[in-house]
Structure 1
Amino acid sequence: MKKWRSLAAALFSVALSFGLAPQARAEGGAGPEAMSMGNMCMVMFGYDMIHITVFQPDKSRSEYCAEIPATGRTIMAFDIENPAFRDLPLEVRVIRDPLTPTLPTGADLEALTELHLPPKKYTKGTFSVEHDFANDGHYITLVTLTRENGEQQTEMMKFMVGETLWAWVPQIAGTILIAGMVFVYWKHTHPTPKKKEANETVAS
């Protein structure tokens, strides 16, 4: 009995931490190209970063990153950390996420584009763009840096707008896991009458 109680308690703690508790996690792409710190995302170019912070001034004073709560007027603010990048052309494009592991080679970005800022030098190191998101869904911010030798490097940050099913997946999975553990624990602590009577017969 003590063994099952200890096991159930341990599994419950694990499920709570992964399924229901708030998590500090990487946002955006699947690798080191994008991450989040609080409500501020960072698109990484090697060890250099560009901060992205999102606001919806018509709705609240809160700052957002990879989970924008609603559609409507949205402001994305960019802060270029490396001074050397301020003298290089920077292009920003926001597209609807095709929900594939990687962007297909040769994908028609124009057909997916929500907004586009052509390559430009942002010598002040900060700039912002405003866009009115009309639809809930998944989106990708593509940031392209053109280096002095003409080489282009594109990094991405994925984000969601509005309430989508995927936003609830961790909570749903955690709830199912906890319910399953409770059921298993109950089954082992409340044997069926036949099994209990059989055990008593063998013992006598």
Structure 2
Amino acid sequence: MNKLIKKIWTLGVILSTLLYAGIVTAHGNVTLESDVCVRNMSGSMVHLSTYQPQYDPQAEYCTEIPQEGETFWVLDLIDHALRNMPIDIKVVRGSGDSSSDTVASLYSTDHSDGVIKGAFNLDKGNYTLLVTGIGVPSLHYEYPLHIQTTNYKNMLVAAIPYIIAFMLIAFLTDKYLKRRQLQH
């Protein structure tokens, strides 16, 4: 009987590990409304995608970039009004306040197709990508960038349902085994 319980536990651990969606860091195939890479201000929307093809040619990231080094980014100007105004893009170290160090910058006036592309080479740490549409009114979007960092709080929050399920299975298994022992 103990071998059967061990097999069940092993299968449960393997299945919960395989089905744990929190270990996936890339995103894709989601609607604009639920996409964490979309920023909306007064009805104007922009979408950021980042890529590191040297590590994983298929993966698309947003703000959680798994490796330091060269990262390609694409900013999609979803709102057509943004396509006619100059766009200022800056990557700053830290939280993005005015006293932050500018690491990279780009000023774009020709993006009638709604796409602005670039690349940056960032070290491990936290940065902010600032996007400003220079018009009346001006529009300002921010993307926090986390390069090769782990957010343990988010990992714990994502793991809580699995921890609860594991504890419930352990409790029920214990009750079942005690009941069987009392019957014999």
Paired residues, what number? 161
Task: Sort the Cα spacing of 1:44 and 1:59 in 2 relative to 1 into closer, same or farther, 3 A.
Answer: same
Distance 1:145 1:47 in 2: 13
Query: What SS is found at the alignment partner of 2:35?
Result: strand
Question: Which consecutive residues of structure 1, in runs of 5 or more, have no partner in the other structure?
Answer: 1-11, 28-33, 197-204
Task: Sort the Cα spacing of 1:110 and 1:66 in 2 relative to 1 into closer, same or farther, 3 A.
Answer: closer
- Percent of pairs with identical residues: 20
RMSD of equivalent CA atoms: 4.1
Contact 2:71 2:119 in 1 (8 A): yes
Q: TM-score, normalised by structure 1?
A: 0.58
Task: Sort the Cα spacing of 1:97 and 1:186 in 2 relative to 1 into closer, same or farther, 3 A.
Answer: farther
Question: Which consecutive residues of structure 2, in runs of 5 or more, have no partner in the other structure?
Answer: 1-11, 28-32
Q: CA deviation at 1:170?
A: 4.4
Task: Sort the Cα spacing of 1:115 and 1:173 in 2 relative to 1 into closer, same or farther, 3 A.
Answer: farther
Q: CA deviation at 1:163?
A: 4.9
Q: Counterparts in 2 of 1:42-121, with a 5 A limit?
A: 42-62=38-58, 63-98=60-95, 107-111=97-101, 113-118=102-107, 120-121=108-109
Greater relative contact order (CA < 8 Å, ≥ 6 in sequence):
1
Aligned partner (choices 122, 136, 155) of residue 133 of structure 1: 122
**Structure with max Cα Rg:** 1
Q: TM-score, normalised by structure 2?
A: 0.63
Give the aligned partner of residue 172 of structure 2. Answer: 185
> Deviations along 1:36-63, whole A, 9 cap, x unmatched?
27xxx32223333223221223333223
Contact 1:35 1:43 in 2 (8 A): no
> Deviations along 1:88-141, whole A, 9 cap, x unmatched?
12222233454xxxx7xxx34423x432335x4234332212111211x44432
